[in-house]
Amino acid sequence: MNEVSHRRIKTNGIWVHIAEQGRGPLVLLLHGFPEIWYSWRHQISFLANHGYHVVAPDLRGYGDSDSPLSPSSYTFMHYVGDIIGLLDHLGEQQAFVVGHDVGAAIAWHLSLFRPERVKASINLGVAYFDRNPNAKLGESLIRTFGDGFYISQFQEPGRAERTFAGYDYLTVIKKFLLITQTDNLIAPPGMEIIDYLETPSRLPPWITEEELQVYADKFQESGFTGALNYYRALDLNWELTAPWQGSKIRVPVKFMVGENDIGFDINGIRQYIEGNVFRNLIPDLEVVMLDGHHYLQQEKHHQVSEEILSFLAKFPPE
- pLDDT tens readout for residues 87-101: 999 999 999 999 999
Burial 210-219 (b: 16+ CB within 10 A, else e): ebbeebbebb
Is pLDDT of 120 > 60? yes
Q: Does the predicted TM-score (pTM) go above 0.95?
A: yes
Is there a domain that residue 10 lies in?
Answer: yes
**291 labelled catalytic:** no
- The reply to whether 82 belongs to the active site is no
What's the rounded mean pLDDT across residues 289-311? 97
- Average pLDDT along the chain: 96
pLDDT confidence tier of residue 3, bands split at 50, 70 and 90: very high
Q: What's the length of the chain? A: 318
Rounded Cα distance, 26 and 251, in Å = 16
pLDDT in tens, 18-53: 999 999 999 999 999 999 999 999 999 999 999 999
pLDDT of 175 strictly over 80: yes
Among the listed residues 64, 66, 101, 261, the single catalytic one is 101
Structural domain boundaries, residue 169? 5-313
Q: Calculate mean pLDDT across residues 203-208.
A: 97
pLDDT at 2 over 80: no
Tell whether 198 is covered by a domain: yes
Q: Which of 231, 261, 295, 301 is catalytic?
A: 231
Task: Tell me the pLDDT band of 246, cut-offs 50, 70 and 90.
Answer: very high
pLDDT value of position 316 = 87
User: C-alpha distances in angstroms, 39 versus 13, 129, 297?
Assistant: 25, 25, 7
Q: d(Cα 302, Cα 305) in Å, to the nearest integer?
A: 5
User: Catalytic residue at 231?
Assistant: yes
Q: What is the pLDDT of residue 1?
A: 56
What percentage of the chain reaches a pLDDT higher than 90?
A: 94
Q: Are strands 14-21 and 5-11 parallel, antiparallel or unpaired?
A: antiparallel
Q: Cα separation of 255 and 258, whole Å?
A: 10
Look at the chain and report how many structural domains it folds into.
1
- Burial per residue of 68-92, b for 16 or more beta-carbon CB atoms within 10 angstroms, e otherwise: eeebebbbbbbbbbbbbbbbeeeeb
- Is 318 inside any structural domain? no
Question: Domain containing 100 — which CATH number?
Answer: 3.40.50.1820
Q: Which of 176, 181, 226 is nearest to 71 (CA)?
A: 226
Choosing from 109, 294, 295, 301, the catalytic residue is: 294
